[in-house]
Amino acid sequence: MAITLTELKNGMAIDLPDGLFSVVEFQHVKPGKGGAFVRTKLRNLRTKAVIERTFRSEEKVEQAVIDKREMQFLYRDGDEYVFMDSTSYEQMSVSGASLGGSTAYLKEGDSVVLALYGGEIVDVDLPAAVELAVVETEPGLQGDRVSGARKPATTETGHVVQVPLFVNPGDRIKVDTRTGEYLTRA
């Protein structure tokens, strides 16, 4: 659906020739001379890159209707991830490539919000932190208590995170999904 730029709102998704974007911020400018224009900051929904773009105020853009669905991750089948819609119980297979880095935090039974546009996943909304079990890490040595020292630990999803020396295999830890960093022991 084509809209004029005076109808823009923060968070609105628009479909431009060079990609699918979300409006981060916009500003209507009416200079003393010449026509009005709209200065925008747009985030590419696929690459997450932020660009600045200026439009003439009479231009029209295509509004993209993003379908956000709460889905439960059921299981992994090779490179495919199988999700179930929480309302219709319909199952959907998704390639790991279209989920991006969010696969490092997905455990069976977890709920996520998938943003779909034309049947394609454009965004995965994870909780701010997830609880993961440590599968493999070097054991902490008695007396080795250097302040702030870290060691690598592999979680049940295969994600490697830097953890404090006191974390052992079998421990459950909280990991920030935005930064990928260790938060605390669970």
Residue 53 sits in a domain of what CATH number?
A: 2.30.30.30
Q: What is the pLDDT of residues 90-130, one digit of tens each?
A: 888 888 888 877 888 888 888 888 888 887 888 888 888 88
Average pLDDT, the chain: 85
Q: Is the pTM of this model over 0.75?
A: no
Query: In terms of domains, do 9 and 56 share one?
Result: yes
Domain final residue pick, 63, 79, 103: 63
- Count of structural domains, the chain: 3
pLDDT over 80 (residue 40): yes
pLDDT over 80 (residue 53): yes
- Residue 42 CB contacts under 8 Å (≥ 6 apart), including other chains: 14, 16, 21, 22, 23, 24, 50, 51, 52, 53
The domain of 31 spans 2-63
Closest CA to 12 of 21, 4, 49: 21
CATH, residue 166: 2.40.50.140
